[in-house]
Amino acid sequence: INIKASDFWIDSIPGLPESDNYFNQWAGHINVDNATESNIFFWLVSNQFNQQRQKLIIWLNGGPGCSSMDGVFMETGPYRLSASNGTVSVRINTNSWYQYANVLFVDQPVGTGFSYTRDGYATSIFEARSMFIRFLDRWLTAFPQFRKSEVYLAGESYAGVYIPYFARAMLDWGKVRRFHCKTTTIGNGWMDPIRQYDSYLDFALQNQLVSGTFLDTMRADTEKCRQEYSKGIERLKLDVCEDILEQVLAESRSKDGLCLNVYDIRFKDDTPSGGCGLYSWPPGVLMCPSYFFLNQQPSVVTAIHATGKRTPWVECDSSVFNALSRDTTPPSYKLLPELLEKLKVLVFVGDKDLICNNLGVEYMVGNLTWNGAKGFANAPLEWLLNGYVVGLNQTERNLTYVRIFGGSHMPAVESPGQVFEMMNRFMGVSAPHAPTSNDTWVSECIDGTCDVSSFNHGS
């Protein structure tokens, strides 16, 4: 395949002040299947400060089918969007991971975000994995300088399914292509469905989210779910288990018709059609389509070489989701013991998330046997940052677990300083971090009682 880096060079970003256009970026499509016209979109941002050893973070959002443009504009990426009087502008994210590492944001599987396909949707994680490896193989043709980088495969939510499977494949493929995955990083990940489903009842009780007849039904639904899994067949999703969470949401609707936000229990929908956070989270996501088609012209889409996609960008693509909805791939946590023999793994979670809550992740770790022992032997340590206890952390036998106090399903949205510091430490970067004006959690939100409506979410 005949492609080169200059084909993907981004000259400038519309709406960004020229004084902020000081780092190198590339973006565009890589073909992964000619027969179905399947193309994966990427956006590569070069590191701001050079390191002794080059680092490459590959970032994947979840869904399945949700765009990594969430990562670019609302989480770990270089930008934040702002809206004023109907005009959307872009500014620099001072807590972006690109400061000390090159970051590659990937829209996958095909059909996600700016990626596209003609009916070549992945119907299993194995198919998605094959296309991802093909993408990396061809991407390295254009960017061979990254072959010797320390590679960190990172993502959140349903990327907790992708990442262990992708990392396992990269270990074999990387030996041939000399492209080595060093670590994996998973935030609020969907990895162990049975433990996650089982945690909903405990988390709801701990946070006083359910009571009365809703609680009775929730207990009954939890028992039905346990019985289903006791048959010995583990799946990424079981419909009977999905009913458990519905009782929490039903109780929240019964009070004022508005649903609890499953991604951050401090929020509720603004309208009855809010989808329990599905259609309005993270804050700022509704600005993305407006920005991509600035002034009703596809100026941003043209600038990032994404014009190959003929349909409008959406945050989460239903066709991708539906194609994977009956996937019978075993849960990804089963791969962790093998991966932990060869890689370092960071698992982090915001403790205000409901759908992939911290209890479920902690239950998974407590039941996991890796490198000769089960679970963690020692209690977690307090994580101090700028004089505040901002979370808990544990590291044993190649596994690091971080609980972020006040963090949502996407902790980098409202806890950018914590997530920035966490990743720098994990990469071994010595970068003293002084809180910026965006780090409202430092002074106001550590105890979880702050007025979250005042958060600066970049909107």
Q: What is the CA radius of gyration of the chain?
A: 21
Spatial CA neighbour of 263 closest among 240, 287, 242, 283? 283
Tokens 């990083």 sit on residue: 185
Written as six digits, the tokens of 131 are 């296309």
CA-to-CA distance for 273 and 279, rounded, in angstroms? 8
Chain Cα centroid distance, residue 22:
26
Written as six digits, the tokens of 126 are 């194995």
Per-residue pLDDT of 125-139, as tens digits, reads: 999 999 999 999 999
Residues 242/193, Cβ–Cβ less than 8 Å: no
DSSP state of 379: P
Per-residue pLDDT of 210-248, as tens digits, reads: 999 999 999 999 999 999 988 888 889 888 999 999 999
Residues 416/456, Cβ–Cβ less than 8 Å: no
Return left, alpha or beta for 411; rule: phi > 0 is left, psi -120 to 50 is alpha, else beta.
Answer: alpha
* Res 206: pLDDT: 96
* Res 446: pLDDT: 34
Tokens 């949502």 sit on residue: 408
* Res 287: pLDDT: 79
**Where do the H-state alpha helices sit in 327-415?**
336-340, 358-366, 411-414
Chain Cα centroid distance, residue 279:
17
AA identity, residue 141: T
The answer to whether 409 is a known catalytic residue is: yes
Residues 139/30, Cβ–Cβ less than 8 Å: yes
Print burial letters for 248-257: b (CB count within 10 Å at least 16), e (below 16): bbbbbbeeee
Q: Which one from 199, 353, 439, 457 is the annotated catalytic residue?
A: 353
* Res 458: pLDDT: 29
Q: Which one from 29, 305, 409, 457 is the annotated catalytic residue?
A: 409
CA-to-CA distance for 214 and 96, rounded, in angstroms? 41
Written as six digits, the tokens of 32 are 């992964």
Domains and CATH numbers, the chain: 5-192+302-310+328-454 (3.40.50.1820), 193-277 (no CATH)
Q: What angle do CA 204, 452, 203 make, to 5 degrees?
A: 10
Strand pairing partners for 186?
155, 347
Residues 53/429, Cβ–Cβ less than 8 Å: no
Return left, alpha or beta for 257; rule: phi > 0 is left, psi -120 to 50 is alpha, else beta.
Answer: left
Q: How far is CA 71 from CA 128, 147, 167, 322, 364, in A?
A: 19, 23, 20, 22, 26
DSSP state of 77: S
Q: Which residues of the chain are modeled with pLDDT < 50?
A: 433-459
Return left, alpha or beta for 387; rule: phi > 0 is left, psi -120 to 50 is alpha, else beta.
Answer: left
Chain Cα centroid distance, residue 297:
29
Written as six digits, the tokens of 183 are 């670590």
Q: Which one from 67, 68, 157, 280 is the annotated catalytic residue?
A: 157
* Res 51: pLDDT: 64
